[in-house]
Structure 1
Amino acid sequence: MNDIINGNKELTQEQRDELLKTLKARFEKNMNFHKGIEWDKVQTKLEANAEKLWSLNEMERTGGEPDVVGYDNNTDEYIFYDCSSETPNGRRSICYDREALESRKKNKPENSAIDMARVMGIELLTEEEYRELQKLGKFDTKTSSWVKTPVNIRKLGGAIFCDRRYETVFVYHNGADSYYGVRGFRGSLRV
């Protein structure tokens, strides 16, 4: 964690090798997530971008189990989402954003989803991205994940989160300053 504070967003060669090995194994295990995408091309992109590799390592370190879920032809980027079955364990018990965190008078959480994502170099999934993820499998059947909240909702003090129950994806609202042990956030990264 001190590396983040000091601004060092590079992995050692050993960390890079281990992360690439983990990502490749997950990629091969979940071929239905990324039909038509070749690992060698993904790896070439990753090896050319140390900071994005660092961000993927942060996703992995906090329990996100990132995997490739698509490719954007317009931008020539591979898209990674957190694909852990439940919201990442290392990103739970957090409120939505800094404003919500500072507004709490008592029992403040340690962090916020927006701040953590910014430090990690990733974006919170949007509601649409969350729904796309759910087409790949069953995620958040026991937990929930903050998603990027529209400005008009946030201005009124709220934030939205999603989960999957009863074979259905639900979108809910809560005060942005709320936090629960089973709510975290899922991120995305383009490489």
Structure 2
Amino acid sequence: MRVTKKELSTEQREELIQTLKARFEKNMNRHEEQDWKKVQAKLEANTEKLWSLHEMEVTGGEPDVVGHDEKTDEYIFYDCSTESPKGRRSVCFDREGLESRKKHKPENNAIDMANSMGIELLTEEEYRALQKLGKFDMKTSSWVQTPSDIRELGGALFCDYRFGHVFVYHNGASSYYSSRGFRGSLSV
């Protein structure tokens, strides 16, 4: 069930926290030195961020803790689904790319979707860091944050994992494919 305001019911919060806890415990290699009780306390104190994690979950992202920022005392979540989140595929890069299409427009774009969810697209560096935690996007690809000089020329970047390596590619920002979505990050 999708929510329309940035607040979850008590039942939705409890269910999401249990899902996140189970994923956290199943994938300790992603966060070996982290303590779930501290993560849960942060989640319970940040209901808007919990709403964003819910959005990541319901679109197929399978968010999980991948780090802790000592300076801000925030836990970092990335989408850790094996393939690019299913509910975020077939989107072009941004609104400008979407509006430039004359026909066969996709329903949405990665930047607007991420903004509405309260998350950020992964950077190339974050995408590479994610790949050190497992093998992701072996059949799909994911839009990543794109430098402004590339975007100003009409391009956008995406990544995937093939042949044991992360590849960074370019495409027109208006392009979209059924196997390309985007992965997000959220600090709580």
Q: TM-score range by the shorter chain?
A: over 0.9
Q: Using the alignment, how far apart are the partners of 2:3 and 2:88 within structure 1?
A: 18
Unaligned runs of at least 5 residues, structure 2: none
Per-residue displacement from partner, 1:102-152 (whole Å, max 9, x unpaired)? 110100000000000000000000000000000000000000000000000
Q: Which residue of 2 aligns with 1:77?
A: 74
Tell me the CA shift for residue 51 of structure 1: 0.4
Q: 1:116 aligns with which of 109, 113, 124?
A: 113
Q: Using the alignment, how far apart are the partners of 1:3 and 1:130 within structure 2?
A: 28
1:96 partner amino acid:
F
Give the SS at the match of 1:132. Answer: helix
1:105 aligns with 2:102: yes
1:20 aligns with 2:20: no
Taking structure 1 as the reference length, the TM-score comes to 0.97
Tell me the CA shift for residue 14 of structure 1: 0.4
Alpha carbons of 1:34 and 1:2: their partners in 2 closer, same or farther (altered >3 Å)? closer
Q: Using the alignment, how far apart are the partners of 1:66 and 1:91 within structure 2?
A: 14
Q: Which residue of 2 aligns with 1:59?
A: 56
Q: Which residue of 2 aligns with 1:151?
A: 148
Residue-pair matches, total: 188
Write out aligned runs for 1:79-98 (5 A): 79-98=76-95
Unaligned runs of at least 5 residues, structure 1: none
1:133 partner amino acid:
L
Q: Using the alignment, how far apart are the partners of 1:160 and 1:73 within structure 2?
A: 29
1:11 partner amino acid:
L
1:41 aligns with 2:15: no
Tell me the CA shift for residue 2 of structure 1: 6.9
2:104 partner amino acid:
N
Alpha carbons of 1:118 and 1:27: their partners in 2 closer, same or farther (altered >3 Å)? same
Q: Which residue of 2 aligns with 1:167?
A: 164
